């Protein structure tokens, strides 16, 4: 049973990792702690639910839809709202993003009520057995997609011109602008990409968890812990820290009981802050905000 | 026809005035030195030209356009490149990545590889170190990389802030030679901002002396080098 718990933890860990990448990037690149991030996760889940329920679309096929829709929303919010307040104060960006999160949750509550929904794909209940461990197919899919998207985003930052412009702006906004890079456009691109990953997270989460307006917020503590554990702004840090967090939670549940999962999770958070505040992988890219 | 003309420029940080009524001109193809003591306002002048500080008054025209309403990235795309004081490379990125980022502002993607080859020819050590993290190189290598990064934008005006600061004389000579070559062969107009007055006036054709926020002396570089007051104040000679 310990092996079962370990497998469950690792499978969930992938999803936690990708849930965090966008949040961590936005924090690292522009110094904004975006509390609306978990709202994008929730909206992504509702997009998948809606397309499944009303159009019969397979949840996996709806991932690109979630990503594109959340990219557009994240980009627009950055251009219309966040770019105007980003240079003012941390408190203001916290308040504004928290407000945006509330609006999203309330809008969904009005549209879909706060009833619990679920996405029951044809393969929702099937699982495969490996060495006596039962691996639910949807969890395997979620973990596989998460890691793939994480690696794709890592490659985007490292190997494309747009990705390099994001890193450059994170490292030194002023010098980047001397190089012809428009920081506000880069911030919008970063916010859009971060929201797109959150949207994908929501689509995957809808296959694993009940879909409801408050589901995004349940990711918030994991997202914070993993951001700090992996190092702010570090994509590879998010992926590895996601697995660590998933494992720690699963083991806490197995050895201590489900009630202790959150406590152990936050204990890990405090431990990292006390012992290694720069995160496991050090500062991600010598960034201004990280 | 001047490439850059500045008239009545005034800059202040809060209540403290840094530049008063600064005016100067640069013709296409010139190397101009802007010299002065530490704290005279040289770096502030460059920050005003590139749009990094707001100006309180005055006019800046570049290639026929008013710079005033343009943001820093727009000015860069119009052909103003800067080598910032202290290099300010992207320390966590490689030399090659730094150079490629410099090309963001350039008008044509097509000539990018040619310019990269030109930079490698100018500073062969950059070719050797292209995979190295910029933050792990020596000061001289970093300065070469910073100049290369600025050149990758294929600018018409190159602003160089304190290119000699903290570098060994042999490196300074090479960098000075590179600036001359870039000016001669590529026709890039150069504004050198230097504390090392002797060095700057040797490279430049004309010079301006900035003293506590005002331009006090200007003229051909050779004349300035011979002036008693400049020799006494900035070159430590009598």
| Contact between B93 and A175 using a beta-carbon 8 Å cutoff | no
Angstrom distance (rounded) from CA A141 to CA A205: 11
| Contact between B50 and A178 using a beta-carbon 8 Å cutoff | yes
Residue-level pLDDT at A266: 86
pLDDT in tens, A129-168: 888 888 888 999 999 999 999 999 999 999 999 999 999 9
The upper half-sphere exposure of residue A119, i.e. CA atoms within 13 Å in the direction of its Cβ, equals: 29
Is B50 near chain A, with CB under 8 Å?
yes
Q: Which residue of chain B has the CA closest to A163? A: B101
Angstrom distance (rounded) from CA B73 to CA B51: 9
Query: DSSP per residue over B69-99, as a string?
Result: T--HHHHHHTTEEEE-TT----TTSBHHHHH
Closest CA to B158 of B124, B192, B121, B194: B192
Backbone angles phi, psi at B202, to 5 degrees: -70, -35
Residue-level pLDDT at A124: 75
Is A183 near chain B, with CB under 8 Å?
yes
Residue A171 has its nearest CB partner, among B81, B92, B153, at B92
| Contact between B52 and A174 using a beta-carbon 8 Å cutoff | yes
Residue-level pLDDT at A277: 80
Mean pLDDT, range A195-215, rounded to an integer: 96
Mean pLDDT, range A75-104, rounded to an integer: 93
The confidence band for B200, taking pLDDT boundaries of 50, 70 and 90, is very high
- Three-state DSSP class for residue B206: strand
pLDDT in tens, A23-54: 999 999 999 999 999 999 999 999 999 999 99
Is B153 near chain A, with CB under 8 Å?
yes
Question: A208 near A138, Cβ under 8 Å?
Answer: yes
Q: Could you state, in order of their start, the residue ranges of all structural domains in chain A? A: 2-275
| Contact between B88 and A182 using a beta-carbon 8 Å cutoff | no
Using CB atoms within 10 Å of the CB of residue B74, give its burial: 0 to 12 exposed, 13 to 18 middle, 19+ buried.
Answer: middle
**Other Cβ atoms closer than 10 A to A158:** 13
Residue-level pLDDT at A113: 87
The position carrying tokens 């990953």 is A197
Mean pLDDT, range A185-202, rounded to an integer: 97
Mean pLDDT, range B132-157, rounded to an integer: 95
The confidence band for A126, taking pLDDT boundaries of 50, 70 and 90, is confident
Residue B159 has pLDDT above 80, yes or no: yes
What's the number of domains chain B is made of?
1
Closest CA to B205 of B226, B190, B188, B227: B190
Residue A290 has pLDDT above 80, yes or no: no
For residues A238-252, one letter each, b for 16 or more C-beta atoms within 10 angstroms of the residue's C-beta and e for the rest, the string is bbbbbbbbbbbbbbb
The confidence band for A284, taking pLDDT boundaries of 50, 70 and 90, is very low
Backbone angles phi, psi at B218, to 5 degrees: -150, 160
Residue-level pLDDT at A283: 56
Backbone angles phi, psi at B43, to 5 degrees: -65, -35
DSSP state of B14: T
Residue A102 has pLDDT above 50, yes or no: yes
Q: Which residue of chain B has the CA closest to A183? A: B73
Provide CB contacts within 8 A for A275, sequence distance 6+: none
Least Cα separation, residue B21 to chain A (angstroms): 25
The rounded percent of chain B whose pLDDT value lies above 90 is 80
Angstrom distance (rounded) from CA A222 to CA A14: 12
CATH fold label, A2-275: ABC transporter involved in vitamin B12 uptake, BtuC (1.10.3470)
Mean pLDDT, range B59-68, rounded to an integer: 94
B166 vs B188, which has greater pLDDT? Answer: B188
Q: Which residue of chain A has the CA closest to B98? A: A168
Give me the residues paired with residue B33 across strands.
Answer: B192, B207
Closest CA to B202 of B25, B22, B68, B35: B35
Alpha-carbon Rg for chain B in angstroms: 17
Mean pLDDT, range B205-229, rounded to an integer: 92
Is B82 near chain A, with CB under 8 Å?
yes
Backbone angles phi, psi at A29, to 5 degrees: -80, -45
**Residue among A171, A178, A186, A231 with most chain B CBs within 10 A, to mutate:** A178
pLDDT in tens, A220-253: 999 999 999 998 899 999 999 999 999 999 999 9
Residue B1 has pLDDT above 80, yes or no: no
Closest CA to A109 of A253, A256, A212: A212
Least Cα separation, residue A200 to chain B (angstroms): 29
Angle between helix A2-30 and helix A220-230 axes, rounded to 10 deg: 70
- Three-state DSSP class for residue B106: coil
The confidence band for A289, taking pLDDT boundaries of 50, 70 and 90, is low
The confidence band for A279, taking pLDDT boundaries of 50, 70 and 90, is confident
Is B78 near chain A, with CB under 8 Å?
no
Which secondary structure element, helix H or strand E, spans residue A225, and what is its range? helix A220-230
Assign residue B227 the CATH number of its domain: 3.40.50.300
Residue-level pLDDT at B93: 92
User: A 143-162 residues with CB below 8 A of B?
Assistant: 161
Strand order in the sheet with B57-62: B16-27, B2-13, B57-62, B65-66
Angle between helix A137-159 and helix A2-30 axes, rounded to 10 deg: 30
Provide CB contacts within 8 A for B154, sequence distance 6+: B79, B106, B107, B108, B111, B115
| Contact between B90 and A177 using a beta-carbon 8 Å cutoff | no
Residue A128 has pLDDT above 90, yes or no: no
Mean pLDDT, range B2-9, rounded to an integer: 95
| Contact between A178 and B149 using a beta-carbon 8 Å cutoff | no
| Structural domain range at position B215 | 2-234
Closest CA to A26 of A149, A277, A194, A178: A194
Query: DSSP per residue over A63-118, as a string?
Result: HHHHHHHHHHHHHHHIIIIIHHHTTT-HHHHHHHHHHHHHHHHHHHHHHH-S--B-
The confidence band for A282, taking pLDDT boundaries of 50, 70 and 90, is low
Residue-level pLDDT at B237: 63
Which secondary structure element, helix H or strand E, spans residue B36, and what is its range? none
Is B104 near chain A, with CB under 8 Å?
yes
Angstrom distance (rounded) from CA A129 to CA A225: 31
The confidence band for B232, taking pLDDT boundaries of 50, 70 and 90, is confident
Token pair recorded at residue B165: 């600061």
Least Cα separation, residue B161 to chain A (angstroms): 13
A95 vs B92, which has greater pLDDT? Answer: A95
pLDDT in tens, B174-194: 999 999 999 999 999 999 999
- Does the pTM surpass 0.95? The reply is no
Token pair recorded at residue A106: 């309330």
Residue B82 has its nearest CB partner, among A172, A178, A183, at A178
The rounded percent of chain A whose pLDDT value lies above 70 is 97
Angstrom distance (rounded) from CA A54 to CA A43: 16
**Residue among B50, B51, B71, B72 with most chain A CBs within 10 A, to mutate:** B72
Residue B142 has pLDDT above 80, yes or no: yes
Question: B57 near B8, Cβ under 8 Å?
Answer: yes
Average pLDDT, chain A: 91
């Amino acid at each position: 049973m310990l092996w079962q718990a370990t497998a469950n933890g690792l499978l969930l860990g992938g999803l936690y990792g990708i849930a965090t990448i966008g949040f961590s990037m936005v924090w690292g690149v522009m110094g904004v702690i975006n509390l609306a991030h978990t709202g994008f996760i929730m909206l992504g889940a509702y997009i998948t639910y809606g397309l499944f329920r009303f159009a019969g679309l397979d949840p996996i096929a709806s991932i690109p839809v979630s990503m594109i829709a959340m990219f557009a929303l994240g980009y627009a919010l950055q251009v219309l709202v966040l770019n105007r307040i980003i240079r003012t104060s941390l408190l203001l960006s916290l308040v504004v993003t928290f407000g945006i999160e509330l609006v999203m949750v309330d809008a969904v509550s009005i549209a879909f009520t706060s009833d619990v929904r679920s996405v029951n794909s044809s393969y929702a209940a099937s699982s495969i057995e490996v060495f006596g461990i039962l691996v639910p197919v949807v969890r395997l899919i979620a973990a596989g997609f998460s890691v793939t998207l994480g690696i794709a985003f890592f490659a985007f930052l490292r190997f494309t011109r747009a990705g390099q412009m994001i890193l450059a702006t994170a490292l030194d906004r002023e010098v980047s602008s001397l190089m012809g890079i428009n920081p506000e456009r880069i911030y919008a691109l970063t916010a859009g990409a971060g929201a797109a990953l959150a949207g994908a997270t929501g689509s995957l989460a809808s296959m694993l968890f009940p879909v409801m307006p408050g589901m995004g917020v349940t990711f918030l503590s994991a997202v914070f812990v993993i951001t700090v554990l992996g190092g702010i702004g570090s994509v590879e840090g998010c992926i590895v820290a996601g697995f660590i967090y998933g494992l720690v939670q699963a083991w806490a549940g197995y050895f201590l009981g489900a009630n202790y999962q959150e406590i152990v999770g936050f204990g890990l958070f405090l431990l990292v802050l006390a012992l290694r505040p720069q995160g496991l992988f050090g500062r991600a890219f010598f960034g201004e905000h990280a | 026809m001047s490439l850059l003309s500045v008239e009545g420029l005034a800059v202040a940080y809060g209540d403290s005035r840094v530049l008063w009524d600064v005016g100067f001109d640069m013709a296409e193809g010139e190397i101009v030195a802007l010299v002065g003591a530490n704290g005279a306002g040289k770096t502030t002048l460059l920050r005003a030209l590139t749009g990094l500080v707001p100006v309180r008054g005055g006019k800046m025209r570049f290639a026929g356009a008013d710079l005033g309403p343009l943001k820093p990235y727009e000015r860069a795309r119009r052909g103003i490149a800067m080598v910032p004081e202290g290099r300010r490379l992207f320390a966590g990125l490689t030399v090659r990545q730094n150079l490629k980022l410099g090309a963001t502002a350039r008008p044509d993607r097509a000539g990018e590889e040619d310019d990269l080859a030109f930079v490698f020819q100018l500073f062969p050590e950059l070719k050797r170190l292209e995979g190295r993290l910029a933050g792990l190189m020596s000061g001289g290598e970093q300065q070469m990389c910073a100049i290369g990064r600025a050149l990758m934008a294929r600018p018409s005006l190159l602003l160089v802030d304190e290119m000699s600061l903290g570098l060994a004389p042999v490196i300074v000579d090479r960098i000075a030679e590179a600036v001359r070559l870039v000016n001669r062969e590529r026709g890039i107009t150069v504004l050198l901002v230097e504390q090392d007055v002797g060095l700057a006036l040797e490279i430049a054709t004309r010079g301006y002396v900035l003293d506590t926020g005002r331009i006090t002396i200007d003229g051909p570089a050779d004349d300035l080098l011979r002036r008693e007051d400049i020799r006494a104040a900035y070159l430590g000679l009598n």
